[in-house]
Chain A
Amino acid sequence: MGDINLKMLLESKSLERAPFPIPTGWFFIGFSDSLAAGEMRNVHVLGQEWVLFRTESGKPGMSDPYCPHLGAHMGHGGKVCGEHLRCPFHHWEYDTAGWCKSIPYAKLTPPIIKKQAVLRTLPMVERYGMMWAWFHPACEAPSFELPYIPEMEDASGYAGTRRGSWTANTCIQEIAENGVDTAHLKFLHGAPIIPPVEASYDGPVMTLDIGRGYIVGKSYGPGLNVLRFTQHGVTATMISYTVPLTHDTTQMNMSFRHVDYAEGTPELQASKKIIDHMIGAAEGEESAGFESVDFIVWNNKKFRPNPLLCDGDGPILQFRKWFQQFYTDPGYVKV
């Protein structure tokens, strides 16, 4: 850290919009019910193409498309055979962990395939009715687990089918930074005041309290946020599962849940109004949700590694320091 200097502030041409690689973490890949047993499809996420498939027994797999043998794209003409993904070219077969399990014509098995996986695959879990993949640029194993979310996993107590997807032309770090940028809540969103914010950090988990209990939530790595909004004793929950498509294009996905109040009750109405308010303009509210105001900034801004901050700004730099842990290349440490 050094002093801000004028040259740095004037040099905007050399700034980049998203000067970060794809971060490490658990990322949403799709809804579980969108991929049947035996099905396979190509997906573009996390900066490359992958073959997403589900084995006959129901296990999801996500693999690099190109066969380690002679490079055929397994998502074009390949198929799921039992528990394996089979390459169309010579019928070599791989399991969901990337181990080559069959070469139908070789008399001898190459020693390397008995010792290790030879195809890059991503570790996957299914939670909240969704498929999640663990991305690490150097293929390291998951270093934390996804949390229990009662609103998604306790089917008896919660309701709400509303969900949506938005694409922002920037990286996750830039999107997530708005969570601690409380001053923008007044000036961009039109909130009546700049709400106080408290952020605390524990490993991959960031805990946020905005407006002394109004918005309370946690981020679990870069790919999952659970935020609970409470007004007049009624709480509604935004579950946000964001996935990088490329290093500078991000798909934001959200599910909105609330307590399963009876039809026609004021609590149900209040819950739905809170959810309206999270997303966009809500009746009787001065401030606007992210859909109406944040994208114009995200889609056009540049990242300032040495921003000119003033008193009243939120804990931006602490947030950036926390986020650095999701980049493994020390060359990306900019703060």
Chain B
Amino acid sequence: MSELRVIGRDGSERRLEAFEGGAVMDTLRDAATGILGTCGGACSCGTCHVYVAPEWLDRLPAKGEDETMMLEAIGELVPLRAGSRLACQLPMTAALSGLVLEIAPEL
């Protein structure tokens, strides 16, 4: 069992049990963190924006073209940070157990 450490939009911190095999987005969406994941992981809606803590960034897979385009567009609506990622593009693996992230503001 893996774990996510999630800082919510209200600043509270939660530890979530994460099932490996899906995306980080799936755990966040099912735990009512405010992550919508409307498109189901197709990288077409931008509703799973999170800020990943700096110490975790080099352990994440690189951004693809669609994620980069989507984050650029998101940046016109809400602030971006170095750790801005779409949680649907982060596969939940044991190596990411303990990942610290913050839920970005609503669009």
Contacts and interface: CB of A to CB of B under 8 A. Distances in A.
B107 interface: yes
B55 to A, nearest CB: 29
Interface in B18-47: 39, 42-46
A110 B74 CA distance: 11
Contacts of B16: none
Contacts of A109: 73
A108 B66 contact: no
B106 to A, nearest CB: 10
Nearest to A113: B44
Nearest to B46: A108
A25 to B, nearest CB: 34
B107 A108 contact: yes
Contacts of A111: 43-44, 65-66, 69-70
Interface residues of A, number: 7
Interface string B59-82: 000000110011001100100000
Given A112-B66, A114-B69, A107 B107 contact: yes
B77 A110 contact: no
B65 A110 contact: no
Interface in A252-296: none
Interface in A29-62: none
B45 A108 contact: yes
A109 B42 CA distance: 13
B44 A112 contact: yes
Contacts of B77: 107-108
A114 B45 CA distance: 13
Q: Is chain B's interface secondary structure helix, strand, loop, or mixed overall? A: loop
Interface core residue of A110, A112, A114 (most chain B CB under 10 Å): A110
Nearest to A110: B44
Nearest to A114: B69
Contacts of B39: 110
A121 to B, nearest CB: 20
Interface in A87-111: 107-111
Contacts of A112: 44, 66
A110 B43 CA distance: 7
A108 B42 CA distance: 14
B64 to A, nearest CB: 9
B102 to A, nearest CB: 20
A112 B69 CA distance: 9
Contacts of A107: 46, 77, 107
A108 B74 contact: yes
Interface string A149-161: 0000000000000
B5 to A, nearest CB: 27
A114 B70 CA distance: 11
Contacts of B73: 108-109
25 contacts: A107-B46, A107-B77, A107-B107, A108-B45, A108-B46, A108-B70, A108-B73, A108-B74, A108-B77, A108-B107, A109-B73, A110-B39, A110-B42, A110-B43, A110-B44, A110-B45, A111-B43, A111-B44, A111-B65, A111-B66, A111-B69, A111-B70, A112-B44, A112-B66, A114-B69
Given A109-B73, A110-B42, A111-B66, 19 more contacts: A107-B46, A107-B77, A108-B45, A108-B70, A108-B73, A108-B74, A108-B77, A108-B107, A110-B43, A110-B44, A110-B45, A111-B43, A111-B44, A111-B65, A111-B69, A111-B70, A112-B44, A112-B66, A114-B69
7 closest cross-chain pairs (CB), A and B? A110-B44, A111-B66, A111-B69, A108-B46, A108-B73, A107-B107, A111-B70
Interface of B: 39, 42-46, 65-66, 69-70, 73-74, 77, 107
